[in-house]
């Protein structure tokens, strides 16, 4: 995935948050500190990563990542594997 894809990835994560303004999301966004974060959001992100990138994110991946850039890196590394 290149930078362009990173923008697409961030948008896909932002979509999971639903009502929130997606333009306010960036690679430095700490996605677990956003309003609306819950274990349901974790499930929605895991589901999106599997559907759109065929990547399996674990609970550990979610736990160990802070920003959307961290999360993007996890997904990218798993895609290239």
Partner 1 sequence: MNLIFKNKRISGVLAVVPSNEVCFDDEVLNYDFPVDTSVKLKHIMGYGKRRVVNGDICSSDLCVHGMTYLFENGLLDKNEIDALVLVTQTPDYILPPTSNIIQGKLGLKEDMICMDINQGCAGYLLGLIESFLLLEQPSIRKVVLLNADVISKKVSCQDRNSHPLIGDAASVTIVERTEEDTTIYATIKMNGGNAFAVHIPAGGCRRPSSPETAQLFADESGNRRSLDHLVMNGGEVFLFVQKQVPPMICSLLEFAGQSKESIDYFLFHQPNRFMLVKLAEKLGIPMEKMPCNVVERFGNSSGATIPVAMTYNLGDRLTRESLNVCLAGFGVGLTWASMILQMGNMRFNHLIEY
Contacting positions for partner 1 (CB under 8 A): 18-19, 35-36, 38-40, 42-44, 46-47, 50-51, 56-59, 62-63
Where do runs of H (alpha helix) occur along the chain? 3-16, 39-53, 59-64, 68-80
Q: With respect to partner 1, which residue has the nearer C-beta, 26 or 36?
A: 36
Nearest distance from C-beta of residue 33 to partner 1, angstroms: 14
- Tokens read off for 46: 């895991």
Task: Report in angstroms how near the CB of residue 36 gets to partner 1 at its nearest.
Answer: 6
Nearest approach in angstroms of CB 40 to partner 1 is 6
The residues facing 34 across adjacent strands are none
Looking at beta carbons only, is 27 or 70 nearer to partner 1? Answer: 70
- Measured CA to CA, the distance from residue 30 to residue 39 in angstroms comes to 15
CB 31 within 8 A of CB 61: no
């Amino acid at each position: 995935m290149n930078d362009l894809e990173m923008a697409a990835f961030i948008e896909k994560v932002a979509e999971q948050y639903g009502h929130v303004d997606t333009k306010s999301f960036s690679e430095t966004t700490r996605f677990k500190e956003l309003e609306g974060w819950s274990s349901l959001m974790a499930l929605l992100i895991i589901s999106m990563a599997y559907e759109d990138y065929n990547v399996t994110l674990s609970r550990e991946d979610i736990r160990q990542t802070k920003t959307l850039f961290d999360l993007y890196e996890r997904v990218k590394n798993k895609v290239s594997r």
